[in-house]
Amino acid sequence: MPPAPPLEITPADLENEVRAYREARVARLTSEKGWLTLIGKVWLRPGRHRIGSAPGSEIPLPPDRAPPRVATVTLENGAVRLDVDSSVELYARGRPVKSLEWRSDADDQPDELTIGSLMLELIRRGADLAIRVRDSQSAARLSFAGIPYYPIDPDWRIVARLDRFVAEREVVFDDGDRRPQLYVSPGTAVFEKAGVTCRLLPVLESDRARMFVLFADPTNRDETYGAGRFLYAPIPEDGHIVLDFNKAFNPPCAFSPYAVCPLPPPENRLPLRVEAGEKRPMD
């Protein structure tokens, strides 16, 4: 677990910290596995599904990137089997494959299938499975124009009080696919800003190494992404949690229609404009 940040920081150190954070964020976003490469996602139903660029393929691939028939996947009893067309070279686990039991991102060593610039991933969300398609040469990645930001402002690095619950509470966030995402929260973050008392419900990530905050505010109407923004925070110490809104960022669904993101709950809708962090992405 990373060390807790200091409760106080100089403006110069904050400037350097936020700039480094933003640079690392853009590097992840524009990487060959970043959200800008996501070009497709299909939820699987029991039975057989065709992968390829041929019309009618249940898992469609771009015709300029893949042959008409690449493989078939079969979902049966919660397991997914892949069978590759004899004329296609598809790679997984460091070698060409013709068939395999496809491991999802819920497994310790998930399988990433590659053909040319395309990569296919199996994702599990609860009891449901989907195939995601990425293209390292996607138009979104190649034409990425950057992210606009608000100026870095020390006043938006807030040390909030954490009012702990007697016991951690389960929190359910709905997502854009109407599938519940489950988290736990240790308490409510409370802070004052511009004479307004604000409350947010932070949740623990699955590895419990940091906090995750979804929030909405009035800037969503005109300057920031309409569905709200995300923020990571260190694990609270001594009854306080550092909420640096200069590091607020757009959810993946702001960059791809194939990404699915949890939505801020009603208790995380702030009454004042948070003019800090990332603005709405450029088209």
Residue reference for tokens 């990332």: 278
Between CA 193 and CA 43 the distance in angstroms is 43
The boundaries of the domain holding residue 73 are 35-142
Q: Which of 110, 142, 174 is the last residue of a domain?
A: 142
The reported pLDDT for the residue numbered 137 is: 96
What's the chain's average pLDDT? 93
Between CA 187 and CA 169 the distance in angstroms is 8
Residues 260 and 182 in one domain: yes
Q: Is the pLDDT of residue 1 over 60?
A: no
**Domain presence at residue 15:** yes
The tally of domains found in the chain comes to 2
Q: Which of 83, 110, 142 is the last residue of a domain?
A: 142
Q: Is the pLDDT of residue 274 over 70?
A: yes
Spatial contact of 44 and 73, defined as CB atoms under 8 Å apart: yes
Entry pTM: 0.90
Of the given ranges (5-14, 45-54, 262-271), which has the lowest mean pLDDT? 5-14
**Domain presence at residue 230:** yes
> pLDDT tens for residues 175-196?
766 777 889 999 999 999 999 9
Q: Which of 93, 116, 142 is the last residue of a domain?
A: 142
Residues 156 and 48 in one domain: no
The reported pLDDT for the residue numbered 196 is: 94
Those residues whose C-beta lies under 8 Å from the C-beta of residue 247, and which sit 6 or more positions away, are 18, 21, 22, 231, 232, 277
Residues 62 and 92 in one domain: yes
Residues 100 and 204 in one domain: no
Residues 101 and 150 in one domain: no
**Domain presence at residue 6:** no
Q: Is the pLDDT of residue 26 over 80?
A: yes
> pLDDT tens for residues 75-114?
999 999 999 999 999 999 889 999 999 999 999 999 999 9
> pLDDT tens for residues 191-229?
999 999 999 999 999 889 999 999 999 999 999 999 999
Give residue 117's pLDDT band: very low, low, confident or very high (50, 70, 90): very high
Residues 116 and 170 in one domain: no
**Domain presence at residue 159:** yes
Residues 119 and 83 in one domain: yes
**Domain presence at residue 73:** yes
Residues 155 and 261 in one domain: yes
| Amino acid letter, residue 35 | W
Between CA 107 and CA 125 the distance in angstroms is 12
The reported pLDDT for the residue numbered 81 is: 97
